[in-house]
């Protein structure tokens, strides 16, 4: 057999092989199966799920990472106020432990409040947020959850929840006064966010973020690729699906609440297949992070929540 003929036959065989693999892949795709592609969104867990502001269950971040890996999560979201240490040696050890466990450190939830007529108080919260951005950068975390803050006129969080998250402004002010404070404060955080490569995800939390209109008004006014939306599925207490749908186009991170055993402040019966469909319409491929808020034993409820979210967010 001459060399030209041999090369032709080998080439034809290779082409046929590729075509066969391609047609087989297409057939599997038509059947709803995949060949190696990731099925669904990566599912994370917030360290908050192991703690829930209960001092007797306040686990260390490294312990939370280990538990998350054992339970089968893909990533961990760190609640900053849960951190006992912030020295660089500890931060780098967390990165090492997460890597060895095969876990991403995907986000960090921070707390700040820009809803105040006091410029010095807003400045202190801007500096606090910048410090959080830099902390996330040291940990290799690409996103921090940020809040608008609230008026602080409620007696405590229990009182705020008793009033369904609705809080009266300080005397002499309205919410309209507060929007520019929040917008200007977040704008001052953006240079550090861009320098560090850390996204700010404004959550539909409370305060001005209690409604989708409030969240989007701030994000649209800032108009930066470094400020987007963290969607919390459990923070719209009435008609959640239409409100979540409003946020979906600008969502870059999702916090998914579950309430096995009944919630501490309230319980929502959320349809996660419906929520997943809302996000899928926007081609959302990012993380879904569990925030377990129920009274059931976390050792049973967290794996149960993971299984449910895996099913809901599978493609």
Can you give the pLDDT at residue 52? 67
Residue among 180, 158, 44 nearest 114 (CA): 180
| Dihedral sign of CA atoms 202, 203, 204, 209 in order | negative
Q: Is 290 helix (H, G, I), strand (E, B) or coil?
A: strand
Can you give the pLDDT at residue 206? 85
Can you give the pLDDT at residue 74? 98
Write out the two tokens for 159.
């009182």
Query: Which residue positions in the chain have pLDDT lower than 50?
Result: 1-30
Can you give the pLDDT at residue 53? 63
Q: Which are the contacts of 209, defined by CB distance < 8 A and separation ≥ 6?
A: 147, 148, 202, 203, 215, 218
**186-206, pLDDT tens digit by residue?**
999 999 999 999 999 999 998
**89-137, pLDDT tens digit by residue?**
999 999 999 999 999 999 999 999 999 999 999 999 999 999 999 999 9
Can you give the pLDDT at residue 128? 98
Can you give the pLDDT at residue 115? 97
Residue at token pair 């001092």: 55
Helices 212-222 and 175-196 pack at an angle, to 10 degrees, of 50
**267-289, pLDDT tens digit by residue?**
999 999 999 999 999 999 999 99
Write out the two tokens for 167.
């809080």
């Amino acid at each position: 057999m001459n060399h030209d003929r041999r090369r032709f036959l080998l080439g034809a065989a290779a082409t046929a092989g590729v075509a066969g693999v391609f047609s087989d892949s297409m057939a599997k795709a038509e059947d709803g199966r995949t060949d190696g592609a990731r099925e669904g969104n990566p599912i994370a867990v917030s360290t908050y799920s192991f703690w829930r502001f209960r001092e007797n269950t306040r686990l260390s971040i490294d312990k939370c990472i280990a538990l998350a890996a054992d339970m089968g999560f893909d990533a961990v979201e760190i609640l900053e106020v849960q951190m006992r240490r912030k020295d660089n040696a500890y931060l780098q050890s967390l990165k090492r432990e997460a890597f060895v466990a095969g876990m991403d450190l995907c986000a960090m939830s921070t707390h700040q409040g820009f809803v105040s007529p006091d410029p010095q108080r807003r400045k202190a919260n801007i500096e606090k947020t910048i410090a959080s951005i830099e902390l996330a950068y040291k940990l290799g975390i690409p996103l921090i959850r940020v809040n608008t803050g609230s008026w602080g006129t409620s007696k405590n969080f229990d009182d705020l929840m008793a009033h369904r998250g609705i809080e009266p402004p300080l005397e002499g002010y309205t919410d309209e006064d507060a929007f520019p404070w929040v917008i200007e404060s977040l704008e001052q955080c953006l240079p550090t966010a861009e320098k560090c490569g850390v996204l700010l995800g404004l959550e539909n939390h409370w305060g001005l973020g209690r409604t989708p209109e409030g969240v989007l008004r701030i994000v649209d006014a800032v108009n930066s690729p470094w400020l987007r939306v963290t969607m919390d599925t459990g923070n719209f207490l009435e008609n959640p699906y239409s409100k979540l749908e409003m946020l979906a186009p600008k969502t870059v991170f999702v916090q998914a609440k579950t309430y096995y055993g009944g919630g501490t402040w309230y319980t929502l019966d959320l349809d996660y297949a419906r929520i997943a469909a809302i996000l899928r319409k926007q081609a959302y491929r990012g993380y879904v992070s569990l925030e377990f808020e129920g009274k059931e034993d976390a050792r049973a409820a967290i794996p149960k929540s993971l299984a449910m979210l895996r099913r809901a967010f599978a493609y």
